[in-house]
Amino acid sequence: MLYVNVHCMNVRARDDRYASILEAADVVYCDGTGVRLGARLAGIPIPARMTGADWIHDLCRFAIARGLSLYFLGGEPGVAAEAARRLQELYPGLTIRGVASGYGEADPSIAEVNSSKPDILLVGMGTPTQEKWIASHRDELDVPVVWAVGALFDFMSGRIPRGPRWMTEHDLEWLCRLAAEPRKLWRRYLIGNPLFVWRVVKTYWLDSR
């Protein structure tokens, strides 16, 4: 299970392997207001975006109700563990089989994941690293559901603040992220967002005439 936001779509435009991984995925959902805007400009209706920091709470409740277990893989050392600790405090009875950090060098963790027998593996390594890691190791992973989650562990651990609800509910979450990590994300948002809109306009408006 994969997601796309504007950054993902910009990566897709220049990375053929990542593009093919998106095409082959069982589920790809919208995780960004910019993608919804682009779809609207292209005349393509898509449902509301769903971002990890929102759906993780529904997932935890669902997992408890159905007796499902999770495994967290990714993030800097300690981040996934702190995210797991906080979520288990919020949701007593939530089963998290294990946690591991890593950005693609996690081959030894495959055996650990399999031995833990989780029902859902959440992989947070950033795009496109996480998608390529999943594609490379999917056949080795004995897990029913493998889900790319981006910076979810950073949000859940408190390492990255999400911003006030009035901003996240009014399509301004990207501005919160930019304010939290300006050096890392300025190019992604200040250059990447206009580039994505231009690519949509060129493809669906200019080139189609």
Query: Does one domain contain both 123 and 90?
Result: yes
Domain that holds residue 124: 54-159
DSSP-derived secondary structure for 24-65 = H-S-EEE--HHHHHHHHHTT---PPP--HHHHHHHHHHHHHH
Q: Has residue 16 been placed in a domain?
A: yes
Angle between helices 16-24 and 6-14 (to 10 degrees): 120
Q: What is the pLDDT of residue 97?
A: 96
| Percentages (nearest 5) of helix, strand, coil residues in the chain | 55, 15, 30
Give dist(CA 126, CA 167) in Å, integer: 23
Classify residue 166: in a domain, yes or no: no
Can you tell me the distance from the alpha carbon of 43 to that of 40, in angstroms, rounded to the nearest whole number?
5
In-domain check, residue 93? yes
61: left (phi over 0), alpha (psi -120 to 50) or beta: alpha
**Are 71 and 122 contained in the same domain?**
yes
CATH of the domain at 89: 3.40.50.2300
* Contact partners, residue 57, CB within 8 Å, separation at least 6: 90
Whether the pTM exceeds 0.75: the reply is yes
Mean pLDDT, 10 residues at a time, the chain of 209 residues: 96 97 96 90 86 93 98 93 97 96 64 95 95 94 96 92 65 72 84 91 75
pLDDT in the model for residue 100:
93
pLDDT for 189: 83
Q: Are residues 70 and 9 in the same domain?
A: no
- In this structure, are 128 and 37 located in the same domain? no
* pLDDT at residue 114, as a whole number: 95
* SS3 category, 57: helix
The C-alpha angle 189, 130, 59, rounded to 5 degrees, equals: 90
Residues 44 and 67 both lie in one domain? no
- Is 133 found in the same domain as 99? yes
For the chain, the farthest-separated pair of C-alpha atoms sits apart, in whole angstroms, at 57
- E strands, the chain, are 2-4, 28-30, 69-74, 95-100, 120-124, 145-148
CA neighbor of 113 nearest in space, from 73, 152, 77? 73
**Number of folded domains in the chain?**
2
141 is a domain residue:
yes
Regarding whether 93 and 79 lie in a shared domain, the answer is yes
Partner residues linked to 104 by β-bridges? none
My answer on whether 15 and 78 are in the same domain is: no
Instruction: Indicate whether 21 and 34 sit together in one domain.
Output: yes
Q: Are residues 123 and 180 in the same domain?
A: no
Element (DSSP H or E) covering residue 147 = strand 145-148
Question: Residue 164: inside a domain, yes or no?
Answer: no
Cα-trace Rg, the chain: 17
